[in-house]
Structure 1
C-alpha cells in the first residue's frame, strides 16, 4: 500500500475524487462552463477542418487565408459554422465522457497499485486507461455530431455542398447513406480519439506528478501545502504538455477521418484518402492542419483541464 499512501500524501490537496463530488451540481455547472470554453475555441476547429479537406486547387490553404475567406463571405458567423449542432450534442457526450473518465480512473488506480510503480507511471497508466474508456463510450453520441458539424464547417468550400442547418445535413446524409452515413468514419474516430484521449490523459497525469516532484511537493521534506496559484500553474503546464503530445501523435488519423466524414456517399475509402493526400502533398499531406490542431489541442486541453479542475473544486462536497 506504499504507492497508495504516497499518492494520498502528494495529491490529497490537489485532486478531488469522484465520490467527493456533488454530481447534480457538477453536471449543471459543468455544462455552462464547458459551453463557454467551446465558444472561445470553436473557430480553431473550423479552420483546422477546412485545411484538412482542401483540395489541391484551392487558394485558401493556410490559416490566414482560410480565416480571411470566412470573414469575407460570412463575417464572424463564418467562424462558428456548425456551432449549434456541436453544442446540442456536446452536453450529453460530455456527461458520458466525464462520468466514464472519473469512475474508470478510480478502478484503474486500484488495479495498478499492487505493481508498486512510481507515481508518474501509475498515473500515466490509470489516466490513460480512463481516457481511452471514456472516449469509447462517448463516441456513440459524438460521431454523428462530428459528421454533421464538419459538413457545416466546410459547406461551399472547395466544392463542398451547402446546407440549411444541421437538420438538413442529417436528412441528406440519411437519405443518401442511411444511418451508416451518420457514423461514417466511426472506426477511425475510435482509432483517433480513443488513443488521443489515452495519450492526453496519460501525459497529463504523469507530467503533473513529475512537476510536483520537482517542486518538492509530496515528499517527506514537504512542509507547506501548495498554494492555489501553484496548483493552477501545474495543471496548466500538464495540459499544454498533454495537448502537444497528443496532437503530434494523432494528426494523421484525424486528417483521414475528417476527409472521410465530409466527402460522403461512400466514394472514398481510407486507402483512397491516404493515396490522395500523398499524391497532392507527399507524406506531409497527412499532417495537414497540424498547426491549428496543435494549437487547438493545447488550448482546448489547457482550458478544459483548468475549467474541469475548477469545476471539481466548486462542486466538492463539504466535509
Structure 2
C-alpha cells in the first residue's frame, strides 16, 4: 500500500491508513519490536561509517573493508555492535516521538497545501518534507545524547580514543567533564544535519514513488488498476534507495563534522570551523565526504528497511 499520502492511496482504489485509523497501542508495541529487529540487522553499518569519519590521517584503515577486518581481528562480532545497548534503550522513546509527529504533521501538511493545486509528486514532496523535518527536530532531544554516547563507544580504543566501561561510564565521564552540554555536543550541527536530511529523505521518498508509479502506467485516474503487493513493495523499496542516495550526498559533510565533534575527547573545546580546517589540512575537501559510501549504504539500507517495516506496521495496526 502506498501509505505516503491520501491521494496516493486513492490512485489505487485503496483506503489510506492515516493516523486516526491506527490502533495506537498495537502501533507502538509492535513497532518497538519491529524496529528493534531492523536496528539489530543494520547497526554494524553505522559503526563502520563512524570509524571512517573519525580516522586520523596516519590510520591504515582507509576503506570499509579494512575497518571491518580491523574490528573482527580485535573484537570479533561484538565489535560491530559497540554502543548498541545504549542506542536500543533510547531508540524506543525516540521512535515514538518521531513516528507520532511524522504522521500527525503529514496529515496537517497535506490539508495545508491542498488549496494550491500542486501536482501529486509536488504535494507529496512538500507534505512529506515538512513532516520529516518536524519529526526529526522534535526527536533530536533524545537522539543527540544517544549519538554522543554510542559514537564514543563505537570508536573507543580506536586511533587513540579513550576506552569506557559501557554507556553509563561514558555518560558519567562526559557529565563530569563538560556538564549536560557535553551530552548535547554537536546539537546544532545534528539539527542542521538530521532535519534537512530527514526532510530531503521523506520528500524524495514521497515524490520518487509517484514518479515511479507513473513510469509503470499508474495515475490518479486508474482506480480499477490495482498493483500487486509485490509491485507495491518494490516501488516503496526503490523510493527508499533514491531517497537515501539524495539525502546522503547532500548531508554527508555536515554529518562528518558532527561526528568529529561528538567523539572529541572530554574537555576539548573545538568549534565546527576548527574541525573543518583540520579536516581540510588532513586530506583536502574530499575529507568532508569520508564515509560517503557506507553512509549511502546506511541511509539506503536503513531507510528502505525502515520504510518497508513502517508500511507493514501500519497495515498490521489498522483498526477494523
For normalisation by structure 2, the TM-score amounts to: 0.96
Could you tell me how far apart the structure 2 residues matched to 1:41 and 1:205 are? 23
Tell me the equivalent position of 2:291.
289
Could you tell me how far apart the structure 1 residues matched to 2:215 and 2:66 are? 43
Tell me the equivalent position of 2:87.
86
Instruction: Identify which of 271, 277, 298 aligns with 2:273.
Output: 271
Tell me the equivalent position of 1:298.
300
Tell me the equivalent position of 1:218.
219
Q: Deviations over 1:28-84 (max 9, x none)?
A: 000111011101110000000010001111112211111111111111000000000
Aligned length: 315
Change (3 A) 1:107 1:219: closer
Could you tell me how far apart the structure 1 residues matched to 2:230 and 2:15 are? 11
> Shift of the alpha carbon at 1:193?
0.2
1:24-173 superposed matches below 5 A:
24-173=25-174
Provide the alpha-carbon RMSD of the alignment: 1.4
> Shift of the alpha carbon at 1:13?
2.2
SS of the residue 1:263 aligns to: coil
Contact residue 8 and residue 220 of structure 2 kept, 8 A: no
Contact residue 193 and residue 254 of structure 2 kept, 8 A: yes
> Shift of the alpha carbon at 1:215?
2.0
Could you tell me how far apart the structure 1 residues matched to 2:264 and 2:80 are? 21
Contact residue 6 and residue 16 of structure 2 kept, 8 A: no
Contact residue 51 and residue 289 of structure 1 kept, 8 A: yes
Contact residue 9 and residue 218 of structure 1 kept, 8 A: no
- Structure 2 regions of 5+ residues with no counterpart? none
Contact residue 6 and residue 218 of structure 1 kept, 8 A: no
Deviates more, 1:99-108 or 1:221-230: 221-230
Tell me the equivalent position of 1:308.
310
Q: Deviations over 1:243-297 (max 9, x none)?
A: 1110000000000000000014243110111011111110000000000000000
> Shift of the alpha carbon at 1:6?
5.3
Change (3 A) 1:167 1:13: same
Could you tell me how far apart the structure 2 residues matched to 1:254 and 1:47 are? 14
Could you tell me how far apart the structure 1 residues matched to 2:171 and 2:135 are? 25
Change (3 A) 1:5 1:159: closer
Could you tell me how far apart the structure 2 residues matched to 1:105 and 1:270 are? 33
Could you tell me how far apart the structure 2 residues matched to 1:24 and 1:104 are? 19
Could you tell me how far apart the structure 1 residues matched to 2:286 and 2:196 are? 21
SS of the residue 2:160 aligns to: coil
Could you tell me how far apart the structure 2 residues matched to 1:139 and 1:57 are? 33
Could you tell me how far apart the structure 2 residues matched to 1:43 and 1:8 are? 35
Contact residue 216 and residue 222 of structure 1 kept, 8 A: no
Q: Deviations over 1:136-189 (max 9, x none)?
A: 000000000000000000000010000000000000000000000000000000
> Shift of the alpha carbon at 1:205?
0.5
> Shift of the alpha carbon at 1:211?
1.4
Contact residue 12 and residue 226 of structure 2 kept, 8 A: no
For normalisation by structure 1, the TM-score amounts to: 0.96
